[in-house]
A and B are shown apart, each in its own frame.
Chain A
Amino acid sequence: MSDQLIDKIVEILGPFMGETMARASLRVYVNEIKINKGSFEPQYLDLLVLRLRTGLTAFAGKDKAQSLINDILRLKQRGGV
């Protein structure tokens, strides 16, 4: 996954969970996907989002988590991936 995409996701998650936690979470989840799939390709963004959703829901509930997830998925639609 490009550093640019990580930065864009951190921009979305940072105000909610803090930049450090957002980067640490992304690093852990991307590494997990790399271990399972061999590499992290842009099409695995959905898998990443799935992992993020659990953590976000635990602290902010489904609705807030979904609104953050939607912002991340919009990156894909905008061709940010």
Chain B
Amino acid sequence: MDKSTLRYIMRRLLISIVTLFVIVFVLFLMLKLMPGTPFNDEKLTEAQRAQIYASYGLDKPVLTQFFIYVGNMLKGDFGISFAIQRNMPVAALVGPRIGISFGLGIGAVFIGTIFGLILGIVAALNRNHFWDSFATILSVIGVSIPSFVVCLLLLILLGVQFPVLPVIYNNSAPFKSAIIPMLAMSLGVIANVARFTRSEMIEVLGSEYILLAQAKGISRRRLIWMHAIRNCLIPVITVLGPIIVGLMTGSMVIEKICAIPGLGSLLVKAIEVRDYNVILAISFLYSALYIAVMLIIDVLYGIIDPRIRLGKGDA
């Protein structure tokens, strides 16, 4: 790794940290501006309310509150929940749900990428034949139709009409109940990856070095495996970023539909009852994940293909 690569990574890292800080600040301010309070019990007197505010540190100036919050956050303390589970630490509330949500997401990305790659490559190798049309139709459908729509249709088909899978997430059978949401989430990934891989593969197959390799007389299998596929894999990394981000949004609704006890459903609940600290923690988590994914993909891509960063200051 040369010096400029290192500088590039440092610069991206710095921007990411600043962005994350800005996000936390904006989130914090917005939540302070939010109408309503978690303590709107009518039985509370003014004095009692002031006392509650003081005990949660909500009476201090906003900026002081912010710095206290950030200080605690760095120590891994995200405050306590006001409404969902009164006085329960947010970290304890959020912690067990992270695994469920991320497990689903990673599973969907994994399945989707593998099947998408296979479909895209097969389509590109059999241009204008059955598999190509199949891949094209599937990707148009997968790209256009939101994952929760697919999830609902699958639920009706496999849960209601032919009850082979549970409709509602069952903690005792996590694998069986994860099938429908995972299928629904991976369809979009398959579509996106297949679409991109196909066009990339076609471009690679038409390039001059493939012609040269053919002219050298290497076997078709070797040509495809060693020369074509390897080179079409690199750009596919770039589409994974937006895909993962899209999955995050989609999973929120899917978690609600399938009653999965994940982050998304907790966020929805927290918004409904105005539980500041929970909203902040989950939003922060989502933002951090988003920025981390973007950063990793940018850096990875910058290392694999150094031409990318040239002249692309806004990467």
Q: Do A and B come from one complex?
A: no
Chain A positions within 8 Å of B, measured between CB atoms, are none
